[in-house]
Amino acid sequence: MKKQSLKKYFSKDIPMKYGSYVSVREVEEPTSLHWHDFLEIEMVVDGNGSQLLNGQKTNLSRGSISVLRHTDYHQIIPEADIKIINLSLSDRVLSDNTLSVIFSLPQVPFFQIPAEDFKILEDISLLCVNENEKIPPNRNYLNGLLECFFLKLFEITKTEYKAGDESSASLSPINAALRYLHANFRKNPSLKDVAKIAHYNTSHFSTAFHSEVGVPYITYLTNLKINYAKELLACTNLKITEICFECGFASHPAFLRAFNAIVGCSPQVFRRNINPKS
Which band of pLDDT confidence, cut at 50, 70 and 90, is reported for residue 203? Answer: very high
Nearest to 139 by CA among 18, 16, 11: 18
Q: What is the pLDDT of residue 169?
A: 41
If you average pLDDT over residues 232-256, what whole number do you get?
Answer: 90
- CB neighbourhood size of 172 (10 A): 14
Nearest to 157 by CA among 193, 199, 188, 121: 121
Q: What mean pLDDT, rounded, does the chain reach?
A: 87
pLDDT of residue 186 exceeding 50: yes
Higher pLDDT, 184 or 167: 184
Mutual angle of helices 252-263 and 267-274, in 10-degree steps: 50
Which band of pLDDT confidence, cut at 50, 70 and 90, is reported for residue 276? Answer: low
> Which CATH number describes the domain made up of 172-274?
1.10.10.60
DSSP 8-state assignment for residue 211: H
On whether the CB atoms of residues 4 and 75 are closer than 8 A, the answer is yes
On whether the CB atoms of residues 259 and 244 are closer than 8 A, the answer is no
CATH topology of domain 6-156: Jelly Rolls (2.60.120)
Higher pLDDT, 193 or 169: 193
Q: What pLDDT, in 10s, does the model give residues 104-158?
A: 888 889 999 999 999 999 999 999 999 988 888 898 999 999 999 999 999 999 9
Dihedral over Cα of 160, 165, 171, 172: its sign: negative
Q: What is the pLDDT of residue 180?
A: 86
Q: Where are the domains of the chain?
A: 6-156, 172-274
Question: Three-state SS for 18?
Answer: coil
pTM of the model: 0.78
